[in-house]
């Protein structure tokens, strides 16, 4: 059964840590002196990763890779880099895959826009879910 006691560490302002302690320890992973080296290394690596991400975002003008604009920007970067490579079968495959991906991104963006327009129309007309039930009835 898990222990309900908190980590024995107290912050400089007197607040308790609150995290559950490791098995056979008074402290959680972050405050256990036996794990101090591993925690310090993890923090160092995380800091390096954040700096690297910030540098890449700046160099490639890429703030959010998951947004539609970010996805398009990534595709532009990949296509530009691949076009600079020697002509090969792998290069052709990557370019064709980039074309397929671009088509899918464009289609999904178009669908999102169409759905948002439909939802706005239904909301404006105050019909709610009843409008979609009518469509289901027409299909049957």
Q: Are residues 72 and 130 in the same domain?
A: yes
Is the separation of the CB atoms in 79 and 95 below 8 Å?
yes
Burial degree of 7 (CB within 10 A; 0-12, 13-18, 19+): buried
Q: Are residues 35 and 94 in the same domain?
A: no
Q: Are residues 55 and 91 in the same domain?
A: no
Q: Which residue range forms the structural domain that includes residue 26? A: 1-59
What radius of gyration, in Å, describes the C-alpha atoms of the chain?
27
pLDDT in tens, 106-128: 888 888 888 888 888 888 887 76
| pTM (predicted TM-score) | 0.46
Q: Are residues 22 and 71 in the same domain?
A: no
Q: Are residues 26 and 53 in the same domain?
A: yes
pLDDT in tens, 30-40: 999 999 999 99
End-of-domain residue from the set 17, 33, 59: 59
| Total of domains in the chain | 2
End-of-domain residue from the set 59, 86, 106: 59
């Amino acid at each position: 059964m898990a222990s309900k006691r908190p980590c024995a560490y107290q912050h400089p302002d007197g607040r308790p840590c609150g995290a559950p302690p490791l098995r056979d320890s008074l402290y959680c992973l972050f405050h256990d002196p036996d794990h101090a080296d591993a925690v310090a290394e993890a923090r160092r690596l995380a800091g390096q990763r954040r700096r690297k991400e910030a540098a890449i975002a700046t160099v490639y003008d890429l703030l959010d890779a998951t947004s539609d604009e970010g996805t398009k920007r990534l595709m532009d970067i990949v296509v530009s880099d691949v076009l600079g490579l020697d002509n090969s079968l792998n290069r052709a495959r990557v370019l064709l895959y980039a074309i397929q991906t671009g088509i899918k991104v464009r289609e999904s963006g178009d669908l999102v826009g169409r759905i948002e327009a439909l939802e706005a129309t239904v909301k404006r007309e105050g019909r709610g879910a009843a409008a979609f039930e009518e469509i289901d009835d027409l299909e049957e």
